Structure 1
Amino acid sequence: MSPSSLNSIDFDSTRFDAAIVDLDGTTIDTLGDFAVALNRMLEDLGLATLPRERIELMIGKGSEHLILSALQYVAAADGADAPAALVRAQAQFERGWERYQHHYLAINGQHAAVYPGVVEGLRALRDRGLKLACLTNKPTAFAKPLLAQKGLDGFFERVFGGDAFERKKPDPLPLLKTCEALGTQPARTLMIGDSSNDARAARAAGCPVLLVTYGYNHGEPVRAVDADGFVDSLAELAAPRR
């Protein structure tokens, strides 16, 4: 791998025993699913829908955060100040969460696509003997069917959703628990993600971190994030070392 793409990570498989891979924005482009489910939820609540560009900025911290952020944004757009928008969003959350789950489960994967190079990258990691786990803030009930539908489930020994542990990324707990489940040490477990959430969790857990440049990073430049390396495609992990 060239230093310009992987920076300080020299992808030598002997450095790692496992890799923890994010889902939304890293392996699968799920923005379409988020937009359809969220806007159907808003319609059920009699609220204005949001453009995909706005929804993309809210992705990454779990479905609960996405829903609350959307409800707050709509309330603010209606003229509520920040405290009032939060109160209104919290009052609408329970109904919104129920409707969101209903719609997401109905369309899960229909408006999503595996990113180019993901299959090649996962296959290269597996063929080099690394244990693989998928760790996402998406609820497990959404994540597992999506991976199966897209033919990626066979790559992962374990799949953990945002409800698997007491806390979600960027807290390090999910990474530490995933390392424990894989029987690996954090220092020898590579985190592969697309955002500052993944990088912050990895840094706190003691895992090296590699970020893709094409995912969802809350509207911020991903290359400004503190990470050990960046790739434009996971297929770069399958390229011969130079």
Structure 2
Amino acid sequence: MHAILQGKRLIAFDLDGTLIDSVPDLAIAVQRALSDVGLPVPSEEHVRNWVGNGAQVLVERALTWALSEAPGQVLQTTAYDAFMRHYGAAPNALTRLYPGVRTALHDLHKAGYPLVLITNKPERFIAPILSHFELLALFAHCVGGDTLAEKKPSPLPLLHVAQQLDIPPSASVMVGDSRHDIAAGKAAGFTTVALPYGYNHGEPIEHSQPDVIISSLLALTE
């Protein structure tokens, strides 16, 4: 196992951009939602740069792009409801696991580490996606962006799972691809592990100063 895991008893993972590349399905849902409200639709690459802060912010960014100004609340609500409907209908059509994810998660689970998922994605989508990839049983706990009163970069979700599993933050690791993951981990007192791929709004993950950067989840098991 990687040296960063020495003395650790809990490993938390982000989902989008860390375990899965979900942008193709998110982009289709955003495009259909904006089409429903009569607005121009963004490209997949636009959507890739907007992912990471939860569904409400994703829709708000798309609307702001289409309108060249912030949307009103009625339009935001209508477009958000449309997005949730479209994404819920097909959250796994084009989504793929990143290379090495399945093997790494199984190896860490077999080694006895409790694994938890902490994502800003709405909670209702977590189980269907993890079940689709036959990974749900590996996770002891899952927290979505709407599970608690706050989401990443707040440390609350991380502290919540640590408390639920009775494991101190100092013995815990947060693995993610964005500055929000690293900020949440640092604020919670977790050791932070970053991946250079994924969705970080075009900003090098080095700028967030994680404790370590790995090129693949497989590095955790080597």
1:127 offset after TM fit, Å? 2.2
- 1:14-51 per-residue CA deviation (whole Å, 9 max, x = no partner) reads x1111011100000110111101010001101110101
Q: Indicate yes or no: 2:43 matched with 1:60.
A: no
Q: Indicate yes or no: 2:129 matched with 1:143.
A: no
CA–CA distance in 1 between the matches of 2:5 and 2:136? 25
Partner of 2:147: 164
Partner of 2:62: 70
1:61 offset after TM fit, Å? 0.6
Residue identity matched to 1:221: P
The TM-score normalised by the length of structure 1 is 0.88
Which of residues 178, 186, 211 in structure 2 aligns to 1:195?
178
Partner of 2:114: 131
Residue identity matched to 1:146: I
Cα 1:12–1:21 shift into 2, 3 Å: closer
CA–CA distance in 2 between the matches of 1:164 and 1:91? 24
Partner of 1:11: 4
CA–CA distance in 1 between the matches of 2:104 and 2:195? 12
Which of residues 183, 208, 216 in structure 1 aligns to 2:166?
183
Which of residues 9, 12, 15 in structure 2 aligns to 1:23?
15
1:89 offset after TM fit, Å? 4.2
CA–CA distance in 1 between the matches of 2:13 and 2:212? 14
Partner of 1:118: 101
CA–CA distance in 2 between the matches of 1:19 and 1:233? 15
Q: Indicate yes or no: 2:16 matched with 1:33.
A: no
Residue identity matched to 1:227: P
CA–CA distance in 2 between the matches of 1:37 and 1:30? 11
**Fraction of identical pairs, as percent:** 35
Partner of 2:216: 233
Aligned length: 222
- 1:66-119 per-residue CA deviation (whole Å, 9 max, x = no partner) reads 01111111111xxxxxxxx22x34331110111011100111111100111111
The TM-score normalised by the length of structure 2 is 0.96
1:54 offset after TM fit, Å? 1.2
Q: Structure 1: where are the runs of 5+ without partners?
A: 2-8, 77-84
- 1:193-220 per-residue CA deviation (whole Å, 9 max, x = no partner) reads 1100000001111000101111111111
1:191 offset after TM fit, Å? 0.4
Partner of 1:82: none
SS at match of 1:130: coil
Contact (CA 8 Å) 1:23, 1:135: kept in 2 or not? yes
Partner of 1:4: none
Higher CA-based Rg? 1
Q: RMSD between aligned alpha carbons?
A: 1.3
